[in-house]
Amino acid sequence: MRFGCMSAACMVMVLMPALALGAKAAAGPAATQPSVEQWGVFDQSFPGPATGNPFVDIELSARFTLGNQTVTAGGFYDGQGQYRIRFMPGGQGQWNYVTQSNCDQLSGLTGSFRCVAATGQNHGPVRVQHVHHFAYADGKPFVPIGTTCYSWVQQPDEIEERTLASLRASPFDKVRMCLLPGKQPPLFYPYAKDDAGKFDPSRFNPDFFHHLENRIEQLGRQGVEADLILFHPYHKGEMQWFDEMDDAGDDRYLRYVVARLSPYRNVWWSLANEYGQVKNKTDADWDHFFQVVESADPYGHLRSIHNAARIYDSNKPWVTHASIQNGSAVADFGRAVLYRELWPKPVVYDEVCYEGNIDRRWGHLSGREMVERFWFGTIAGTYVGHGETFSNPQKISWTSEGGELMGQSPPRLAFLRKILESGPPEGIEPIDETYQTHVGGKAGEYYLVYFGTEQPTTWKFALPRDPPNKNALTEGMQFHVDVLDTWNMTITPIERVFTTDKLVESVFPAVDDPAIPLPGRPDIALRIERIK
Amino acid sequence: MRFGCMSAACMVMVLMPALALGAKAAAGPAATQPSVEQWGVFDQSFPGPATGNPFVDIELSARFTLGNQTVTAGGFYDGQGQYRIRFMPGGQGQWNYVTQSNCDQLSGLTGSFRCVAATGQNHGPVRVQHVHHFAYADGKPFVPIGTTCYSWVQQPDEIEERTLASLRASPFDKVRMCLLPGKQPPLFYPYAKDDAGKFDPSRFNPDFFHHLENRIEQLGRQGVEADLILFHPYHKGEMQWFDEMDDAGDDRYLRYVVARLSPYRNVWWSLANEYGQVKNKTDADWDHFFQVVESADPYGHLRSIHNAARIYDSNKPWVTHASIQNGSAVADFGRAVLYRELWPKPVVYDEVCYEGNIDRRWGHLSGREMVERFWFGTIAGTYVGHGETFSNPQKISWTSEGGELMGQSPPRLAFLRKILESGPPEGIEPIDETYQTHVGGKAGEYYLVYFGTEQPTTWKFALPRDPPNKNALTEGMQFHVDVLDTWNMTITPIERVFTTDKLVESVFPAVDDPAIPLPGRPDIALRIERIK
């Protein structure tokens, strides 16, 4: 079906024989775009029909080729008679492209650009690596220290700028954020209104997306991944229908979003927040949405879905990692690892209640509790997300609107991030998790022993054998020990070398059975690194 | 293919025209079997060919009909020229049957029997009920208090009789038990040897099965479910090949076992023990085995698989309940519930380490720890299994060979069973599990509050609201409280009525905010029942 070409604007083009004959050089801007960084954004606009409903009528995509490699990227209508193709090149060299469309004016347009090496903080998109962990496309490990600011891109500019500044000064390298408006009317809506003043689910609002894309780009420059929440159950009033679009409307929304946003390397897809509470959507719908996103996104950005009421099956092949809401699962030893054992995928406890002081039981964790939850998750080989809900005169909260961080946890999470980024690049694995719930690390090389609220004054050196890696740790290895105060952010080296002695059941003590003095406070951990 | 009919014995029958023409009355015994209880075993033998390899050559089944209901049951060769059809009737009335076979002698035989009401302790097979719980076919709730005696049916009679006597005196109503021999050579092997003295994977040993069936029947009469473990990774020496049969051998084994054993109402299928350690079997193999069992078993007995190394995906439709090996998951508050939240199926922590005193870390739980694990599982709405490994002069241990129970936990588990069997028939559900990890029950009606090793001397009455059942508990309800000592097995009523007051955040205190005195010992629980 070539609806688009029946529109008046397109008909004009069909009548111009020179342009109707297959390949046509794209408009000027392509020539002026000299080069694009690997994993940067190639962005090219084309004029086209503005009449009818281009969001529905016109199909547009482009085939990008580099040597033997061909990638098809979706295009989209950007309003005011402008169409746009965006593309994230994954390899360096000369890329050529040709457009396809059901509108002749937009079909067969060609162009090319040179893709050059990434610079600075551009490490490419984040992928799963080492089964339960993450790394950028260039191999640099990515340690998610995430936070949530649901509606931060729907605020006055002044607040959004403060949010960006707060993130810059924070340890957070991933932010969960919604596209669709929540309970409060936003400044921008993703949909346009029809002549009767009602939102039209078949017409997007390009201004909303321009603003959003600018914020996603800014996050990217700051080294923050944008974990984009595509659906949620919080619509009220005139936004209620965002929850209740028909199947075509849902798919159109997903395809438009993916075409526009997937070329930004720092995008992750979170199919929904609290998906089980979105009315009128079954698990089959969520399976379908995952598949729409997976097939529309040529870059394979990370895909997850966030639970309430029920937990989506993370074994399904289109789920790249589990995104779990459960504060209890990281509130003590031995819990977080249980989910990790089920799925050969990363587990991110993305909502674990919030640091704050509001009168809701999910909104008044102490900073200490928040930090502790990160450590419980860490030693279990999983990841944890932060959130913050302090009541304040401005009546905005970090997790809802952004603004300033007020809590005590962020500097301590920066300390944790520093520890992890200087740890094994493969990430922290649980070590003998059924019997040694205090210990994570890399068998034979690196261990974190965490005590939580326990206040030991001494610790007898003993490293557990890792059952699946029985030979990784042996007698006669030498280790250095640092005492970490996870709250006061200090690292105190122990000035002696610990040499593993003979195995006793499943644990290696050290020669002379030395005891390490500890400060008798909570929030203490040990970092134990092999030196020989 | 009608291999069987090429055998000499069968050829004779083919030559007898009167018998070759369709329906034939079955041999005498059918007439002498006046009636069978509902969920009892109808068992009929037929003479047939004994030459060739009847286990491979002859196919036999029977179609049983009661009114509009038709059930096809597999038949099997029982040695010495005898074939057998067994059937568990699920409804009362006159059942008629007709056999099918690729051997004419065994095909088209007909008969009938009357199925009468179940009596005594016959409640039918156990099914899943109320999503996470179990009940017999007649609706009586089944509370699994399971144990494990891997090789108890491969011991001298004297030991096996002691095992049965121990079970009779115990609270255990489910026993996990292996079919295939383990590390020690058994008295009976499920396979026969060939002329060269080597086991033949294409010939079963009916004597092995007669013995096993007798034991399964005895368990049934004692009210014990037989959780039959079909594969395991523990074969050594000349039994090694049990692990390494080809696909046809595996399927033949499963079909033979299911044909013989599925008519016993107390059978459950555990596809494997520590399935991840069975060499040469992939997850696709286990999927297939589940499907073979599911399609061969006309009664839909419960199906699970027990993990090591990796955990099978309990979302798969042929899994009726999760059978989890993980002692840590029931060693503290807030753990067991995590798996339960994933699957709309019962979760049974079937191996949680063993009460005992052997020098293996999985084999020296104290009785107290074992009881505690059952309670941690219970308040999370899950079930727990017992095991026991005491060193003793006889060098047999309960969990390996059976014999006598020596531990301290069984009487306390009997106390728990009594509590549960007098509790809500729907089973114990977690109540507000993310915030109230000490509490399980039935919202608004019945609560168990468990303190584990904590030793409180007082408890302020407060019942949490159940988020999915917000209106189940309200102000003004009246409750009775019993203090349970889960170790000393005492029930101490509190002589006052507790009336719920206004909701405070998510908890209902009682009017006058009363505090309940507690003994300041570990192992205390509260039973709180609505009286008005």
Nearest CA in chain B to A328: B434
Q: Is the pTM of this model over 0.90?
A: yes
Query: Between chains, do B332 and A328 touch, taking CB under 8 Å as contact?
Result: no
B-contacting residues in A 466-505 (Cβ below 8 Å)? 468, 505
Nearest CA in chain A to B359: A505
> In this structure, what DSSP letter does residue A6 have?
G
pLDDT tens track for A299-317: 999 999 999 989 999 999 9
Nearest CA in chain B to A467: B309
pLDDT digits (tens), chain B, 532 positions: 333 333 433 433 333 333 333 446 554 444 445 799 999 999 999 999 999 999 999 999 999 999 999 999 999 999 999 999 999 999 999 999 999 999 999 999 999 999 999 999 999 999 999 999 999 999 999 999 999 999 999 999 999 999 999 999 999 999 999 998 877 777 788 999 888 888 888 999 999 999 999 999 999 999 999 999 999 998 877 777 777 788 999 999 999 999 999 999 999 999 999 999 998 899 999 999 999 999 999 999 999 999 998 999 999 999 999 999 999 999 999 999 999 999 999 999 999 999 999 999 999 999 999 999 999 999 999 999 999 999 988 889 999 999 999 999 999 999 999 999 999 999 999 999 999 999 999 999 999 999 999 999 999 999 999 998 999 999 999 999 999 999 999 999 999 999 999 999 899 999 999 999 999 999 999 999 999 9
Query: Between chains, do B315 and A313 touch, taking CB under 8 Å as contact?
Result: yes
- Which of residues A395 and A212 earns the better pLDDT score? A212
The two structure tokens encoding residue B373 = 């694990």
B chain contacts of residue A506, beta-carbon cutoff 8 Å? 361
Query: Between chains, do B311 and A341 touch, taking CB under 8 Å as contact?
Result: yes
Beta bridge partner(s), residue B440: B430, B448
The two structure tokens encoding residue A8 = 């008046």
Which of A232-246, A289-303, B215-229 has the weakest average pLDDT?
A232-246
Contact between B279 and B236 (Cβ < 8 Å): no
Contact between A416 and A375 (Cβ < 8 Å): yes
Geometric angle at alpha carbon A176, from A175 and A178, rounded to 5°: 130
Can you list the alpha helix ranges (DSSP code H) found in A7-122? 8-14, 17-20, 29-32, 54-57
A499 CA: distance to closest CA in chain B (Å): 24
Phi, psi of B92 (to 5 degrees): -85, 145
pLDDT of residue A27: 47
B chain contacts of residue A434, beta-carbon cutoff 8 Å? 326-328
pLDDT of residue A25: 55
Confirm or reject contact between A202 and chain B (CB < 8 A): no
Q: How far from A339 is each of A134, A429, B365, B374, CA to CA, in Å? A: 17, 13, 25, 21
Mean pLDDT of A295-301: 98
B385 CA: distance to closest CA in chain A (Å): 17
How does the average pLDDT of chain A come out, rounded? 92
- Residue of A255, A270, A345, A227 whose CA lies nearest to A58: A255
Query: Between chains, do B311 and A335 touch, taking CB under 8 Å as contact?
Result: no
Whole-angstrom distance between the N-terminal and C-terminal Cα of chain A?
Answer: 69
Contact between A350 and A323 (Cβ < 8 Å): yes
Query: Between chains, do B326 and A437 touch, taking CB under 8 Å as contact?
Result: no
Best mutation site among A434, A435, A466 for testing chain B: the one with the most B CBs within 10 Å? A434
Of A309, A334, A361, the CB nearest to B506: A361
Spatial distance between the Cα atoms of A199 and A242, rounded to a whole number of angstroms: 10
Spatial distance between the Cα atoms of B210 and B229, rounded to a whole number of angstroms: 17
Contact between A47 and A272 (Cβ < 8 Å): no
Phi, psi of B128 (to 5 degrees): -75, 140
Residues 6 or more apart whose Cβ sits within 8 Å of residue B324: B306, B307, B311, B339, B347, B348, B349, B350, B351
Spatial distance between the Cα atoms of A290 and A268, rounded to a whole number of angstroms: 12
Of B335, B339, B341, the CB nearest to A334: B335
A chain contacts of residue B327, beta-carbon cutoff 8 Å? 434
pLDDT of residue B33: 58
pLDDT of A13 > 60? The answer is: no
Half-sphere exposure of A500 toward its Cβ, with a 13 Å CA cutoff?
25
Angle between the A409-421 and A367-379 helix axes, to the nearest 10 degrees?
20
Best mutation site among B314, B332, B338 for testing chain A: the one with the most A CBs within 10 Å? B338
Nearest CA in chain B to A332: B334
Q: Give kind and range of the element (H or E) at residue A429.
A: strand A429-430
Q: For residue A24, what pLDDT band results from cuts at 50, 70 and 90? A: low
Nearest CA in chain A to B328: A434
Phi, psi of B203 (to 5 degrees): -130, 120
Spatial distance between the Cα atoms of A392 and A395, rounded to a whole number of angstroms: 5
- Residue of A401, A389, A417, A351 whose CA lies nearest to A171: A417
Contact between B336 and B380 (Cβ < 8 Å): yes
B chain contacts of residue A338, beta-carbon cutoff 8 Å? 326, 329, 335, 338-339
Q: How many C-beta neighbours within 10 Å does residue A45 have? A: 17
pLDDT of residue B19: 35
> In this structure, what DSSP letter does residue A184 have?
S
Best mutation site among A324, A328, A359 for testing chain B: the one with the most B CBs within 10 Å? A328
**CA-based max dimension of chain A:** 91
The two structure tokens encoding residue B379 = 């308040």
- Which of residues A224 and B28 earns the better pLDDT score? A224
pLDDT tens track for A56-95: 999 999 999 999 999 999 999 999 999 999 999 999 999 9
Confirm or reject contact between A328 and chain B (CB < 8 A): yes
A chain contacts of residue B342, beta-carbon cutoff 8 Å? 311, 313, 339, 342
What is the number of CB-based contacts under 8 A between chain A and chain B?
60
Phi, psi of A505 (to 5 degrees): 50, -105
Whole-angstrom distance between the N-terminal and C-terminal Cα of chain B?
Answer: 69
pLDDT of A1 > 90? The answer is: no
Spatial distance between the Cα atoms of A391 and A387, rounded to a whole number of angstroms: 13
Q: How many C-beta neighbours within 10 Å does residue A6 have? A: 15
pLDDT of residue B15: 33
Phi, psi of B166 (to 5 degrees): -65, -45
Contact between A350 and A176 (Cβ < 8 Å): yes
B336 CA: distance to closest CA in chain A (Å): 9
Beta bridge partner(s), residue B191: B204
Which H, E and C letters describe A328-353, residue by residue?
HHHCCCCCHHHHHCCCCCCEEEEECC
Contact between A186 and A212 (Cβ < 8 Å): no
pLDDT tens track for A127-165: 999 999 999 999 999 999 999 999 999 999 999 999 999
- CB under 8 Å, gap of 24 or more: what pairs does A23-26 form? A23/A98, A23/A108, A23/A109, A23/A110, A24/A108, A24/A109, A24/A110, A25/A109, A25/A110, A25/A111, A26/A99, A26/A109, A26/A110, A26/A111
pLDDT of residue B6: 38
A-contacting residues in B 38-67 (Cβ below 8 Å)? none
